[in-house]
Structure 1
Amino acid sequence: MNTITTDNKSLQQRLKALKEEKNAVILAHYYQEPDIQEVADFIGDSLELAKKAAQTSADIIVFAGVHFMAETAKILNPSKKVLLPDLNAGCSLAESCPPDAFQNIKSEYPDHVVVTYINCSAEIKAMSDLVCTSSNAEKIINSIPEEKEIIFAPDKNLGRYLIEKTGRNMLLWDGACIVHEAFSLDKLLELYKEHPSAMIIAHPESEDHILKTANYIGSTSGMLNFVKNSDHDTFIVATEAGILHQMQKDVPHKTLIPAPAKEDNTCACSECAFMKMNTLQKLYNCLEKETPEILLEESLMKKAHLPIQRMLEI
């Protein structure tokens, strides 16, 4: 686990004081660096963060996550100032679904209900009938009348998993998250041989061959709850390695092993370079200067709000 330096602790204290002074709230995704998670008012997965963003009374929302998450917070709070520490913190999955190309598919299948995973741009949300997260995707799909055909975008791996779970034959957009496609099956099986009593837990954005090995498949918060409530003491975790910080805090007595990536890297796990673009210093700077700010056209926010609101109602 990463340690938090003395300098970072000092910066965290200054950040907390600045937050109070400006009536700001910091929302952080589980995949953020530990020192950012430690200073956040709320840490969660996409669904929890969307709900928290909708409920906040703060004047300023600082979103320690990636671009589409900050956009979602702005859509739910059009009158509030929403800041993102680094505007370049994008998402490979969101970028795999360009609005023009998606509009062509929509036009080709005009009678299909369009369900989009929250990991997409505001423009794609505005073209959707319903938005979902990995926590509630199955529930959202099951809420659609069986006679209705469905387009699901942008994550094909989550889409395939949902087809299997719900029995619905959906038209899938060919998009994926590079982090969840980076897991090596061969290395995972080798690791499992070393830890035969371990349970493998995986995020449904992972490829099918990884999901087939898993004892549990679920959203980020689902995995956290599973590990907390399980009698097992060793887990191999197939999702972005940032989750291990909160998970280890929840279960300090259990052994958590990140699932290995295909590429050799410093942590031998799968990390999201976009998520890691945010730093504690950038977080402080962005709140102090109140920039970079997420700005969206009012008409776009109204269109994108509808499918998110339908999701929250369901």
Structure 2
Amino acid sequence: MLTDKILKLKKEKDVVILAHNYQLPEVQDVADFVGDSLGLSRQAAKTPHKTILFCGVHFMAETAAIICPDKKVLIPDLSAGCSLSDSITISQLKEWKKSHPGAITVGYVNTTAEIKSELDYCCTSSNAVNVVKSIPKDKDVLFLPDMFLGSYVAKMTGRKNMYIWAGECHVHAGIRSDDIQKQLDSYANSELLIHPECSCTSQIMYDVAVGDYSNRQVQILSTEGMMNYAKQSTAKNFVVATETGILYRMQQQNPDKNFIPASKGAVCQYMKMITLDKVYASLFEEKYEVIVPKQIADKARVAIERMLAIS
């Protein structure tokens, strides 16, 4: 069986397999650690293994390579990209910074290594609010590339001097308020877990504030935040507004609870490009290595280390 071959080979070759929450179930099953971007970055930083096989999208493997310059980082498919990461180029960022001299630049981890090398801070959805809160209030902030996460952070921090890049994740942008409401109506006493990259986050925050959700629990959380919340909540039904891959792990950890996708179409084709066959081939042939040029990696590492230092 392919799963057994992978488990045997990773031991023989001293390889740790990291997989994002959005990966295919069978890929999650062979991983040593499954989690969100921040959790996997932390695992990469502390792993004793010589090689990291990253089952995620390209920017995640780049981040691991930057954090662990002494390790080999492999990705099973080099073309596993990210629509959000593609929404800003290095020339666009440099121009934006020029037009706001003295501003502090905060970039979501969903960006290329080249973009990260131009940032003051990196962040993930789980610590974006705290990263921005740590910046002096009199400093302008450029937040990129996700406009929905940026809007959420601006509201949560109350910061008026925050400029937000107009990028989006095509999967989260496609989850609509109507989709969510239909699912909530179908399941009595269900709680809503929503990722801040969703296009309807701001609208839902407003709706909650004016009482439209009555006494229903609504939590705006990172994927790992969703995992933790689902474990400790006494609710039995959860409508989950993020990429559908997370439902597998949620169900595994909470077999007595029911997890409903806000939108069945919320599937990232890039995350699903990594298959068990590709994982085995990557292990067996030690391909494809992700290498970040030293000059870019050294600059990007500063922003990433600041991200890892802020919970």
TM-score bucket (shorter structure)? over 0.9
Asked if the contact 1:155–1:205 (Cα under 8 Å) also holds between the matched residues in 2, the reply is yes
Output the CA distance in 1 between the equivalents of 2:250 and 2:274: 20
The count of corresponding residues between Structure 1 and Structure 2 is 298
- Provide the residue aligned with 2:80 in structure 1: 89
What TM-score does the superposition give when structure 2 sets the normalisation length? 0.93
Conservation of the 8 A alpha-carbon contact between 1:43 and 1:49? yes
Contact 2:180/2:241 (<8 A) preserved: no
Q: Which amino acid aligns with 1:230?
A: S
Measure how far apart 1:185 and its partner are: 2.2
**Please, what is the CA RMSD of the aligned residues?**
1.2
What corresponds to 1:220 in structure 2? 223
Q: Find 1:255's aligned residue among 255, 258, 262.
A: 258
Partners of 2:10 and 2:207 lie apart in 1 by 44
Query: Using the alignment, how far apart are the partners of 1:186 and 1:132 within structure 2?
Result: 29
Shift of 1:115: 0.5
Q: Secondary structure at the match of 1:179?
A: helix
Provide the residue aligned with 1:287 in structure 2. Answer: 283
Q: Distance in 1 between matches of 2:309 and 2:235?
A: 35
- Cα 1:198–1:101 change in 2 (3 A) is same
Give the Cα separation in 1 of the matches to 2:205 and 2:175. Answer: 11
| 2:176 alignment partner in structure 1 | 184
Unaligned runs of 5+ in 2: 209-217
Matches of 2:55 and 2:206 in 1, distance apart? 32
Q: Tell me, which stretches of 5 or more residues in structure 1 are unaligned?
A: 1-9, 261-267
Deviations 1:70-126 (A, max 9, x none): 000000111211111111100000000111111100111120000101010001100
Question: How many percent of aligned residue pairs carry the same amino acid?
Answer: 45
The answer to whether 1:278 aligns with 2:281 is no
Q: Measure how far apart 1:187 and its partner are.
A: 2.8
User: Matched residues in 2 for 1:212 and 1:116: separation?
Assistant: 25
> Partner of 1:209 in structure 2?
203
Is residue 308 from structure 1 mapped to residue 304 from structure 2 by the alignment?
yes
Instruction: Measure the CA separation in 2 of the matches of 1:57 and 1:192.
Output: 44
- Could you tell me whether the CA contact under 8 Å between 1:200 and 1:213 is conserved in 2? no
Rounded Cα–Cα distance in structure 2 between residues aligned with 1:17 and 1:187 = 43
Q: Contact (CA 8 Å) 1:202, 1:210: kept in 2 or not?
A: no
How does the TM-score come out when normalised to structure 1?
0.92
CA distance in structure 2 between the aligned counterparts of 1:298 and 1:60, rounded to whole angstroms: 18
**Cα distance per residue 1:226-261 (max 9 Å; x no partner):** 11111111010000000001100111111110012x
Partner of 1:120 in structure 2?
Answer: 111
> Residue 30 of structure 2: which of 26, 30, 39 is its match?
39
1-structure distance, mates of 2:18, 2:178:
36
2:16·2:51 contact (CA, 8 Å) conserved in 1?
A: yes
